[in-house]
Amino acid sequence: MNTNQELDVTALAAEKPSLTGQLSYYYRVRFRDNGQEITVNAELASLNRSDLAMVLTDHGLEPAMVYSRLLNMVKQPEPRPAVLSIQRLANEEERQQFQLLLSQETEAFLFCKEQVEELKLIMHLVRVERFFNGSKIIFYFTAENRVDFRQLVKDLVQEYHTRIEMRQIGVRHETQMLGGMGICGRQLCCSSFLQKFDSVSIKMAKAQDLPLNPAKISGACNRLLCCLTYEYENYRDTKKRMPRMGRSFQLHGEEVLVVQQHPLSGAVTVTTTQGERKMVPQQEWEQVHQLAQTGTRSKSKEKKEGEAEPAKQRPGKVAKKKNEGEEQ
């Protein structure tokens, strides 16, 4: 987001005195250049793009680079849950330590890769992250099967004298860490804003009438595209309101058969009894369905009224038979 287009909440609060309370600002930051953007909370209004800020995490302060500022908000009695907070800007010493941290992660990656090759372990190292306070180093890797990395951990502990964690991840998380460009020409969703991976099925591609070509509906991770879930519910709900494929109805006195739905335009493609294909706009087939529903309701009402008349005569007939019996 461009900083000159951001909302000045200070001016807004001056115009609207009803906005009371301590102002809170929300920023998008990254802990690494190729890392994922996350939203953090701050009481600082003067942070700019590329600033290095100290963010409070569950294991202490971590430096993060500011990428953009979101719409400013007035803080409620309690801040938004599950949102990290910026404590302050990093000082010069912390900036130098952060640059050293990045070089240490690169060195640890190369050292671990060499050890993996020497031990002939079948695993692929993806990324190395070191805590700012040096209390732990996390090695992310992928592997098809279970890996016995006990000796590797011993070598790493002996080299760095800190806690070592080997974390196995899947191919989707690997792509999220490595990043890249999607077939749409934009940055991968998983490496930009997705916080969790939803289950994706081939049914979603079918519902959106997409070609079932693996090369066209698969992402950089060789799994189904995450964006297939974005519009699936909209397509599914829209198709439910349209005439279903294989269903026939009367159109201008002629019976037609639905062969294709077009959810975006609302039209349907039909074939006539002569085999002619034509597209029926949404307004046209909706009128036909409304008339059909009105006719069905009228028939149903007449049927109910016809059934009600004999029911009223029954008590009279029963009473008449009863009286005849009494006379006899």
What is the 3 state secondary structure string of the chain? CCHHHCCCHHHHHHHCCCCCCCEEEEEEEECCCCCCCEEEEECCCCCCCCCEEEEEECCEEEEEEEEEECCCEECCCCCCCCCEEEEEECCHHHHHHHHHHHHHHHHHHHHHHHHHHHHCCCCEEEEEEECCCCCEEEEEEECCCCCCCHHHHHHHHHHHCCEEEEEECCHHHHHHHHCCECCCCCECHHHHCCCCCCCCCHHHHHHCCCCCCHHHHECCCCCECHHHHCCHHHHHHHHHHCCCCCCEEEECCEEEEEEEEECCCCEEEEECCCCCEEEECHHHHHHHHHHHHHHHHHHHHHHHHHHHHHHHHHHHHHHHHHHHHHHC
* Per-residue pLDDT at 169: 93
Question: Does residue 268 surpass a pLDDT of 50?
Answer: yes
- How far is Cα 205 from Cα 217, in angstroms, rounded to an integer? 8
Using 50, 70 and 90 to split pLDDT, how confident is the model at 8? very low
- Dump pLDDT digits (tens) for 74-127: 554 454 555 788 999 999 999 999 999 999 999 999 999 999 999 999 999 999
* Per-residue pLDDT at 71: 62
Question: Does residue 46 surpass a pLDDT of 70?
Answer: yes
Once rounded to an integer, what is the mean pLDDT over residues 33-45?
84
Choose between 15 and 85: higher pLDDT.
85
* Per-residue pLDDT at 135: 92
**Which phi and psi (to 5°) does residue 109 adopt?**
-65, -45
Share of the chain above pLDDT 70, in %: 77
Which residues make beta-bridge pairs with 277? Answer: 271
- How far is Cα 185 from Cα 191, in angstroms, rounded to an integer? 14
CB proximity list for 285: less than 8 A, separation 6 or greater: 242, 243, 249, 251, 267, 268
Using 50, 70 and 90 to split pLDDT, how confident is the model at 2? very low
* Per-residue pLDDT at 143: 93
Choose between 206 and 306: higher pLDDT.
206
Task: Write the single-letter amino acid at 176.
Answer: Q
Question: Does residue 52 surpass a pLDDT of 90?
Answer: yes
Question: Does residue 249 surpass a pLDDT of 60?
Answer: yes
Nearest Cα to 54, choosing from 66, 70, 71, 72? 66
pTM for the predicted model, two decimal places: 0.69
